[in-house]
A and B are shown apart, each in its own frame.
With several copies, the nearest count.
Chain A
Amino acid sequence: MHDLQAPLVGRRRVARDAFVLGFRAGPIAREVRAGQFVNVLLRPGPLLRRPFSVHRTEGEIVELVLRAVGEGTGRLLELREGDRVGLLGPLGRGFALDPSAGRVTLVSGGLGVAPMPMAARQARAMGLHVCWVHGARTAADLCSEWEGDEICWATEDGSRGVRGTALEAVPEPAGQVLACGPLPMLAALARRWPEAQVAVETVMGCGTGVCLGCAVPLTSGVYTRACTEGPVYRAGAVAWERLPAPAHAGWET
């Protein structure tokens, strides 16, 4: 775990309102595994850090993908090159890839693309065949970048690829399934592939395991910490009906 002041070194648009930000943070870039996250400190900015999956790494650079939904993400997208943020990470447990699976399917809804490029690269480095299935509302909301051997698109309005959710576009046999996206998508995915690995989002206080704020309820009845035991879980282990989407901070967010 590192706590660094990392300068913004690049920014590009990858979907409607969605941007990839690159920060120079060598020690984190070198250690991070797919599915892990960093906790971002903004000053001036909101009191608490904001968690983001690591999207890609490029040498010393850690990339995050995000959209403005509130104060923290809004401020992140206002940063100018050279501005520094605090990056704490890598945090959490990432995806566990099974080299014997032969084939891995990445299922991402909307900004659930976040952890996928790293997952795709790690899987290919292990010799796995990577099929990436990516869904969003419309073609303009789809992420314009992808990695892997195959890509399948899905849009709610059918403006690109299959009409429907990413889930409905997954070609069988899926092999090992890794997923990230809105809670309803993950809950549905859990019914189809209980063995899938899913990255979940919760509100976080600390990101380091001390506050117990990031509780994810399991079917076994206990709560686990998304920042420590997660954010990647076996889909079938999560008690989805007891995992609320984070409540809204206001109208504007």
Chain B
Amino acid sequence: MSDARDGLTPAGPLEVGGVHLATPVMAASGTFGFGTEVPLCDRRALGGMVCKGIFLEPRAGAPPPRIVETPSGMLNAIGLQGPGVETVIREYAPLWATWPFPVLVNLNGETVEEYAELAARLDGVAGVSGLEVNISCPNVERGGMLFGQDPDLAAAVTAAVRVRTRLPVWVKLTPAAGDISAVARACEEAGADALCAVNTFVGMALDVRTGQPRLGFRTGGLSGPAIRPLAVYLAHRVAQAVRIPVIGIGGITRPEDALEFLLAGCRAVQVGTATFVDPNAIGRVVEGLRRRSTPDGAPPGHRLRPA
């Protein structure tokens, strides 16, 4: 597996952290459902997708309102509504097995053991190409982001998942970590195959006419173009801290946004909120990367000079 910083990724197929991607641009968890919902997306452009986060058991999710728009961004507090792992195995995985791009399952738990159990259940399931361990969800009462703020807890979750599956294990990091490099290194040492940086930033918005939070869960996670400069910085720090590949996430809308993450040291990227605005956002990002590629397949920028 080549180092993220060894060269730039072309728009073509590549292998990242044990997963064979059709292009370097993937659909981010929670913004592409289970892959059956967005008919207008150009699926040939899709490098791969991460399904909506799941727990062992079905979950109702957070009370509405669940979304608030903010300047160039949105807060969400979905609360990981979704079917449990059994439905995923029974209803979605068989479909995914027929698709031309890999699907990773986004794993969530309230305890280390729940993550491990999920990993075990998904091991060997046809249609599941990898696991994205979500230790960064800001919208649950227990677990989620708490695991991602502490290097020891992050390592514990990663290690527990690692020993229960032969699937590639990616770990999705939270910007709320005091030292994201330390968490990244801890996950790498615990056996992660790749790191995803980053999940949403915790935020809050109040209704000035009632004085109450505008989200049912009170706080939510900020995504969209507003966070891009913060996410590029964090993804860059993570890429500098580890040798495993990094997948950049946060506010990617245009082809050049994706390239910014690649230049910052990421090996692939995920697109989230942009898909809400343009169901074919990923198609357009990949098309832009392709059009701008130099003849040898590498994008036109240079690698980021180390500081």
**Which residues of A are interface residues toward B (Cβ below 8 A)?**
1, 3, 41, 46-49, 86, 88, 202-217, 221-223, 228, 242-244, 246-252
Q: How far is the CA of A222 from the CA of B61 in the complex (A)?
A: 9
Binds A, one of B15-23, B26-34, B188-196: B26-34
User: Total contacts A to B, CB within 8 angstroms?
Assistant: 129
Pair A1/B64 contact, Cβ less than 8 Å:
no
* Given A206-B275, A250-B256; A47-B65 close (CB under 8 Å): no
Is the Cβ of B81 less than 8 Å from the Cβ of A247? Answer: no
B255 within 8 A of A: yes
- Whether A211 lies near B31 (C-beta < 8 A) is yes
A78 shortest CB reach to chain B, Å: 19
Instruction: Output the least CB separation between A63 and chain B (Å).
Output: 23
CA of A210 to CA of B39, assembled, Å: 11
If A210-B37, A210-B38, A213-B78 touch, whether A252 touches B67 (CB-CB below 8 Å) is no
* Complex contacts, B207 vs chain A, CB 8 Å: 247-248
Flag B72-100 by CB within 8 Å of A: 1 or 0 each: 11101010011000000000000000000
Chain A contacts for B276, CB-based, 8 A: 48-49, 205-208, 210-211
A-B contact pairs, 16 of them (CB 8 A): A1-B39, A47-B69, A47-B273, A210-B30, A210-B32, A211-B30, A211-B31, A212-B52, A214-B64, A215-B64, A228-B37, A242-B63, A248-B209, A249-B69, A250-B254, A251-B292
Chain B residue contacts of A246, Cβ below 8 A: 65
Given A47-B74, A49-B277, A211-B67, verify A248-B52 contact (CB < 8 Å): no
A41 to B275, alpha carbons, bound, how many Å? Answer: 13
Whether B37 contacts A209 by the Cβ 8 Å rule is: yes
Of all chain A residues, the one with the shortest Cβ separation from B215 is A247
Contacts of A202 in B (CB 8 A): 64-65
List B contacts of A244 (CB < 8 A). Answer: 63-65, 216
Q: Which residue of B lies closest to A70 (CB)?
A: B69
Knowing A3-B280, A48-B276, the reply to whether A203 touches B67 (Cβ < 8 A) is yes
A210-B32, A249-B69, A250-B208 provided; 13 other pairs, C-beta below 8 A? A202-B65, A203-B64, A203-B65, A205-B74, A208-B276, A210-B30, A210-B33, A210-B37, A210-B52, A211-B31, A215-B66, A249-B68, A251-B256
Judge if B279 is at the interface, Cβ distance under 8 Å: yes
B12 contacts partner chain A, Cβ-Cβ < 8 Å: no
Classify the interface of chain B: helix, strand, loop or mixed. Answer: loop
Rank and list the top 9 A-B pairs by shortest CB-CB distance, nearest first. A213-B67, A247-B214, A206-B276, A210-B33, A247-B207, A250-B256, A209-B37, A215-B64, A248-B209
Known: A211-B67, A244-B216, A252-B256. A3 touches B279 (CB 8 A): yes
The distance in angstroms between the C-alpha atoms of A86 and B292, with both chains bound, is 26
Known A-B contacts A206-B275, A212-B81; the reply to A46 vs B69 at CB < 8 A is: yes
Contact of A213 with B66 in the complex, beta carbons under 8 Å = yes
A223 touches B81 (CB 8 A): yes
Instruction: Tell whether, in the assembled complex, residue A205 and residue B210 are in contact, meaning their CB atoms are under 8 Å apart.
Output: no
Whether the Cβ atoms of A251 and B66 lie closer than 8 Å is no
B60 part of interface (Cβ distance < 8 Å): yes
B47 at the interface (CB under 8 A from A): no
Given known pairs A46-B69, A210-B38, the reply for A251 and B288 (CB within 8 Å) is yes
Whether the Cβ atoms of B63 and A48 lie closer than 8 Å is: no
Taking CB atoms and an 8 Å cut-off, the chain B residues in 139-156 that contact chain A are: none
Q: How far is the CA of A205 from the CA of B68 in the complex (A)?
A: 9
- Distance between Cα atoms of A205 and B33 in the complex (Å): 13
User: Given A206-B276, A210-B33, A211-B31, A251–B69 Cβ distance below 8 Å?
Assistant: no
Does B225 reach chain A (CB closer than 8 Å)? yes
Q: Is the CB of B210 within 8 A of A47?
A: no
Residues on A with C-beta less than 8 A from B63 are: 215, 217, 242, 244
Task: Check if A208 sits within 8 Å of B279, measured CB to CB.
Answer: yes
- On chain B, the residues within 8 Å of A252 by CB distance are 254, 256
**B279: contacting residue among A88, A215, A216, A251, CB under 8 A:** A88
Q: How far is the CA of A3 from the CA of B224 in the complex (A)?
A: 21
Q: How far is the CB of B39 from chain A (nearest CB, A)?
A: 6
Please report the C-alpha to C-alpha distance between residue A48 and residue B71 in the assembled complex, in whole angstroms: 10
Knowing A208-B38, A247-B65, A249-B69, the reply to whether A223 touches B31 (Cβ < 8 A) is: no
Chain B residues with Cβ below 8 Å from A243 are 64
Q: Could you tell me the distance between the alpha carbons of A216 and B81 in the complex, rounded to whole angstroms?
A: 12
Can you list, as one digit per residue, whether each of B266-283 has a CB less than 8 Å from chain A (1) or not (0)? Answer: 000000010111111000
Q: How far does the Cβ of A224 sit from chain B's closest Cβ, in whole Å? A: 10
